[in-house]
Amino acid sequence: MKIKILIFILFLLFQGNNVYSNSQVIVAKVENEIKAGVIQYLQRVINIAEEERVDYLVIKLDTPGGLLKATEDIVDLILATEITTIVFVHKEGGWAYSAGTFILMAADYAIVHPRASIGAARPVILSPEGGAIEKMVGAMASWIKSLAETHERNATVAEKFVREDLALTGALAKEKKVIDKTAEDLNNLFLQLNIKEPNVKTIELTFIENFFNFLSHPHLISLFLTIGGLAIIMAIRSGEFEITGIFGVIFLLIGFWGMGIIAFSILGIGLLLLGLVLLLIEMFGEPGFGILGIIGTIVILLGIFTFGAEPFFAPEIFDAVTMIVIGAALSLCIFFVIIGRGMARIIKSKPKTGSESLIGLETEVVKELNPRGYVKINQELWSAKNIDEKLIPKGVKVKIIKVEGNTVFVEE
């Protein structure tokens, strides 16, 4: 009996030493800004992890920051799943700033390369009121503190990431116990967590996810809203809904998709609307690309960049997307102003055919008007009447005011 008990204990110990053997691990990669498209990707990865009942989900993170609403949604996804989550800032010289730090704090295991950097999570807000900024800072500090406390990390240091814009290397963060471990690569990470012989499956972004991730850039979303709004206006004015209207609806739908996820600023919306109003005045007022058109273009550009000024969005001015937005916005505004100029001319121009085309023409009296007589129009005699009921002698120049039937009404 004692031998059986001893064998059973040895069996349990053996099983305990190998409890992590052959663990199923899914790896996801999140690089660059945290924005709307990243949510779709991580949602799919987590669904796969849950369907396959894997043991661990590793998110390899390298980001300068991102959007507040997208960050909230990703944190919610990580907290809600029953899969053990590991966020790994994996690159030497890599980073998980602002939004990335919140995502790191949300994971079951926060692991950072010893020579990577985390923190610098103070919100960036364009506001003339300091109180509004402090209110946001207080809210974000409380949020990151609660995430740290949930996983028994140093909440005081985590709070300093927001309030003092503190940044730490992975080695220092481990020393201050604000993260769990440091690791230089995945193999070292598995060793640190005693995950033996893991079966690793890496899930890459699909072409569609890459495409929508690109479209979800906040500068592009605001540009799509501008394009969609102008296209719908042009469709209504011209009556051509087949092409212009359809494209307008498509761009607006993309913009609304992004707008439902992005917490954009009122200032950005106001600038975009003001720019649109100025362009419309330029287009349908006096035709010509004048001062209002130039100002409208500048205001729209300011609105686009203000629109993307999220609390956690990296303030990179001269990146590739920014250059695309500047070029597209300028081309768009010039295009619509030129089209509007042509439409304004058509709207203001007099009819080219029919009796109404005669209004405004100058002609000559060939038989005195007293008040009726005749005038010559395009080598034809027309019955004419002086609207002033006065005599107008033969040979005097008159202008046609209106046409009724075969009679033109003129004035000297």
Average pLDDT over residues 246-275: 58
Give the count of domains, the chain.
3
What torsion do the CA atoms of 14, 17, 18, 20 make, to the nearest 10 degrees? 150
Answer yes or no: is 1 within a domain: no
Concatenated DSSP letters of 109-153: EEEE-TT-EEE--------S-HHHHHHHHHHHHHHHHHHHHHTT-
Asked whether residue 223 falls in the same domain as residue 180, the answer is no
Q: How do residues 304-352 score in pLDDT, each as one tens digit?
A: 655 544 454 444 444 565 666 666 666 666 666 566 556 555 555 555 5
Compute CA distances 96 → 65, 111, 159, 168, 266, whole Å. 7, 11, 15, 10, 28
The per-residue pLDDT for range 270-293, each reduced to its tens digit, is 556 656 766 666 666 554 445 666
* Residues 147 and 238 occupy one common structural domain: no
Binning pLDDT at 50, 70 and 90, where does residue 179 land? very high
- Contact criterion met (CB below 8 Å) for 255 and 221: yes
Q: Is residue 11 part of a domain?
A: no
pTM of the predicted protein model: 0.59
Phi, psi of 393 (to 5 degrees): -65, 165
pLDDT: which is higher, 106 or 247: 106
Phi/psi at 238 (nearest 5 deg)? -95, -20
Domain holding 319, by residue range, is: 217-346
**Phi, psi torsion values for 409, nearest 5 degrees:** -105, 130
Give the gyration radius of the chain's Cα atoms: 35
Q: Are residues 324 and 247 in the same domain?
A: yes
Q: Of 291, 323, 346, which residue is a domain's last? A: 346
Among the three residues 162, 193, 210, which one is the final residue of a domain in this structure?
210
Same domain, 167 and 266: no
Shared domain for 337 and 362, answered yes or no, is no
CB contact at 8 A, 297 and 279: yes
Instruction: Assign 128 a pLDDT band (cuts: 50, 70, 90).
Output: very low
Q: Provide, rounded to the nearest whole percent, the portion of the chain with pLDDT above 70.
A: 61
CATH of the domain at 152: 3.90.226.10
Q: Residues 55, 184: one domain?
A: yes
> Does the pLDDT of residue 197 top 90, yes or no?
no
Task: Examine residue 139 and state whether it is found in any structural domain, yes or no.
Answer: yes
pLDDT at 175: 92
Last residue of a domain, one of 190, 210, 230: 210
Amino acid at residue number 329 = A
Q: What pLDDT does residue 314 have?
A: 47
pLDDT of residue 393: 84
Rounded distance between C-alpha atoms, residue 203 and residue 205, angstroms:
7
The sign of the torsion formed by the CA atoms of 260, 265, 266, 268 equals negative
**Residue bearing tokens 């220092």:** 172
